[in-house]
């Protein structure tokens, strides 16, 4: 049976009135995560979230993870049916670095231009954080109760793998997730404009596994003028080239198969998955996300060797960002080892699982109903995220993760390029749409 969405609520109106101010406040708190524990930003953001939720009457816990600088916040709204499993709504507070000289505006000023909020984190993922905070405040003030307990969780360190955030919680504070069956977070629910001017919303039900690898070659150090057949730089460069140029075949998980079928039907075309350039011509910029969900990928990102022009170094290293589709981890790593050759070894920098949750469940029915109520006639499809989220960690406790941060976007906005991109920004109307849609969803979930 398809769920029926309720009418718009006074809570949604109240949340919509303050969500942009909350988003701008969050962006102004520089929560840059460069992989080190050097800045106070995540703790300052956690303090802000705690104050915002406490002021609205929620019982809130702010806690430290691996240090006083890495902090998270948890709050709960009790449901009317305590027999039902709890629903987790989670967001990360950290952002990737932003080089101000590359931006059109200061990346942490949260300026409003062209009816959009600009700044690092506007898309990834302080927009969703702000929507959740605004709705929690509105529901708490009105006394509105969902049908099941809602757990609101805001955490650090997602952008560096979650060892100081979501994985720490699973290892040290599993009580926070006690009774939770499903989790909802980022990178799903945004719209694509179809050729007939309808919109297609992609609900994230799967994500690729992560294999960030350091490649290491060792050789004989010596004078740069000498003859040598044992050069670590040459060996690691050759391995990087083989891996970077490797053409991975299409591998469709159940989610990817459903995704491809739904998108083909919505666009009225047969997608050419074998040719990334052709796929881009068919789908435009969104092809970078869709295509990456249909195959394993390996992108070299860093190289390091030597310390002087006339010294052959004893070792050389490279870093490769590897991602594998669900069910492909073993085959992926075997192929990597073949491409490395006998003289280069790999070490994991970050290694995490691929996820795949069911699309045919009541939770997704509630998402579809909420979207249809706010955008009648819209199409909805699952998709496989090529990146990773905190859902990987929470899956260790049996939590099924979904990406649903709904945004109705203008057709000319290259939204997928804004994740970790320059001039990150989100339309104000899209955030308002997201608040209304999430409010409807949470009444049904």
> What is the model's pLDDT at position 1?
43
Q: Which helix (H) or strand (E) holds 379?
A: strand 379-385
Whole-angstrom Cα distance, residue 97 to residue 31? 9
User: For 395-431, how does the pLDDT look when each residue is reduced to its tens digit (9 = 90+)?
Assistant: 999 999 999 999 999 999 988 889 999 999 999 999 9
Q: What is the DSSP string of 105-135?
A: S-TTS--EETTEEESTTTTTTHHHHHHHHHH
Q: In a 10 Å sphere around its CB, with 0-12 CB exposed, 13-18 middle and 19+ buried, how is residue 231 labelled?
A: middle
Whole-angstrom Cα distance, residue 138 to residue 365? 24
User: For 246-275, how does the pLDDT look when each residue is reduced to its tens digit (9 = 90+)?
Assistant: 999 989 899 988 888 888 888 888 888 887
CB 329 within 8 A of CB 366: no
> What is the model's pLDDT at position 248?
95
Phi, psi dihedral angles at 86 (to 5 degrees): -75, 155
CB 314 within 8 A of CB 218: yes
Whole-angstrom Cα distance, residue 368 to residue 292? 24
- Angle CA 244–249–250, to nearest 5: 125
Q: In a 10 Å sphere around its CB, with 0-12 CB exposed, 13-18 middle and 19+ buried, how is residue 71 labelled?
A: buried
Whole-angstrom Cα distance, residue 248 to residue 335? 10
Whole-angstrom Cα distance, residue 33 to residue 126? 14
Cβ-defined contacts of 302-305 (< 8 Å, 24+): 303/236, 303/237, 303/240, 305/232, 305/233, 305/236
Q: Which of 111-120, 226-235, 290-299, 374-383 holds the top average pLDDT?
A: 111-120
> What is the model's pLDDT at position 56?
98
Q: What is the DSSP string of 133-196?
A: HHHHHHHHHHT---SS-EEEEEES-GGGTSTTTHHHHHHH-GGGGTTEEEEEESS-SBEEE-TT
Whole-angstrom Cα distance, residue 278 to residue 4? 39
Quick one: CA dihedral 227, 233, 239, 244, positive or negative? negative
Of the pLDDT bands very low, low, confident and very high (cuts 50, 70, 90), residue 7 is low
User: For 286-303, how does the pLDDT look when each residue is reduced to its tens digit (9 = 90+)?
Assistant: 777 778 888 999 999 999
Q: Strands 222-223 and 344-352, how do they pair?
A: unpaired
Average pLDDT of the residues in 316-338: 97
CB 259 within 8 A of CB 384: yes
Tell me the CA distances in angstroms from 104 to 121, 262, 417, 419, 422, one per residue in order.
15, 37, 15, 16, 8
CB 20 within 8 A of CB 48: no
> What is the model's pLDDT at position 444?
94
Whole-angstrom Cα distance, residue 90 to residue 151? 8
Percent of all residues in the chain with a pLDDT value above 70, rounded to a whole number: 98
pTM listed for this prediction? 0.92
Q: What is the rounded end-to-end Cα distance, in angstroms, of the chain?
A: 14
Q: Which helix (H) or strand (E) holds 432?
A: helix 428-444
> Is the pLDDT assigned to residue 132 strictly greater than 90?
yes
User: For residue 344, what are its two tokens?
Assistant: 């280069």
> Is the pLDDT assigned to residue 6 strictly greater than 80?
no
> Is the pLDDT assigned to residue 3 strictly greater than 60?
no
CB 99 within 8 A of CB 87: no
Whole-angstrom Cα distance, residue 227 to residue 220? 11
User: For residue 43, what are its two tokens?
Assistant: 């703790």
Question: How many residues can be counted in the chain?
Answer: 445
Whole-angstrom Cα distance, residue 184 to residue 176? 15
Three-class SS of residue 43? helix
Whole-angstrom Cα distance, residue 243 to residue 299? 8
How many other C-beta atoms are found inside a 10 Å radius of the C-beta of residue 227? 5
Average pLDDT of the residues in 38-52: 92
> What is the model's pLDDT at position 328?
95
User: For 151-208, how does the pLDDT look when each residue is reduced to its tens digit (9 = 90+)?
Assistant: 999 999 999 889 999 999 999 999 999 999 999 999 899 999 988 888 999 999 999 9
Q: State the average pLDDT for the chain.
A: 93
> Is the pLDDT assigned to residue 4 strictly greater than 60?
no
Domains within the chain, CATH numbers bracketed:
10-193+392-444 (3.40.630.10), 206-352 (3.30.70.360)
Whole-angstrom Cα distance, residue 266 to residue 192? 10
Whole-angstrom Cα distance, residue 260 to residue 248? 18
> Is the pLDDT assigned to residue 33 strictly greater than 80?
yes
């Amino acid at each position: 049976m398809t769920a029926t969405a309720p009418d718009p609520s006074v809570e949604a109106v109240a949340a919509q009135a303050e969500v942009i101010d909350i988003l701008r406040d969050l962006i102004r708190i520089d929560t840059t995560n460069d992989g080190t524990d050097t800045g106070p930003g995540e703790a300052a953001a956690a303090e802000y979230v705690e104050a915002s939720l406490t002021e609205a009457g929620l019982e809130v816990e702010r806690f430290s993870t691996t240090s006083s600088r890495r902090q998270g916040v948890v709050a709960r709204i009790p449901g009317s049916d305590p027999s039902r499993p709890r629903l987790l709504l989670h967001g990360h507070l950290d952002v990737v670095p932003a080089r101000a000289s590359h931006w059109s505006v200061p990346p942490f000023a949260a300026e409003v231009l062209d009816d959009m909020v600009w700044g690092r984190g506007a898309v990834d993922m302080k927009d969703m954080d702000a929507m959740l905070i605004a709705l929690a405040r509105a529901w708490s003030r009105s006394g509105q109760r969902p049908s099941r307990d809602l757990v609101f969780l805001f955490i650090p360190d997602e952008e560096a793998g979650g060892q100081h955030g979501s994985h720490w919680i699973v290892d040290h504070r599993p009580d926070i997730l006690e009774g939770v069956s499903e989790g909802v977070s980022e990178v799903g629910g945004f719209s694509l404009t179809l050729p007939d001017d309808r919109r297609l919303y992609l609900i994230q039900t799967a994500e690729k596994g992560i294999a960030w690898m350091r490649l290491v070659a060792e050789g004989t150090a010596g004078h740069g003028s000498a003859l040598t057949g044992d050069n670590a730089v040459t060996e690691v460069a050759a391995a990087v080239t083989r891996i970077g140029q490797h053409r991975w075949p299409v591998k469709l998980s159940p989610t990817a198969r459903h995704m491809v079928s739904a998108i083909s039907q919505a666009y009225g075309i047969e997608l050419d998955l074998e040719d990334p350039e052709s796929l881009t011509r068919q789908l435009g910029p969104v092809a970078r996300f869709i295509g990456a969900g249909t195959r394993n990928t390996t992108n070299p990102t860093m190289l390091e060797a030597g310390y002087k022009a006339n010294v052959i170094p004893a070792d050389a290293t490279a870093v490769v960002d590897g991602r594998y589709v669900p069910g492909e981890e073993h085959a992926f790593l075997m192929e990597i080892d073949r491409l490395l050759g006998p003289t280069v070894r790999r070490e994991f920098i970050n290694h995490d699982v691929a996820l795949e949750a069911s699309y045919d469940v009541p939770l997704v029915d509630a998402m579809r109903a909420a979207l249809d109520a706010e955008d009648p006639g819209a199409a909805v499809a699952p998709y496989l995220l090529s990146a990773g989220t905190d859902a990987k960690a929470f899956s260790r406790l049996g939590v099924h993760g979904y990406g649903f941060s709904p945004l109705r976007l203008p057709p000319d906005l290259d939204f997928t390029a804004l994740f970790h991109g320059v001039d990150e920004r989100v339309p104000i109307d899209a955030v308002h749409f997201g608040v209304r849609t999430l409010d409807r969803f949470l009444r049904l979930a």
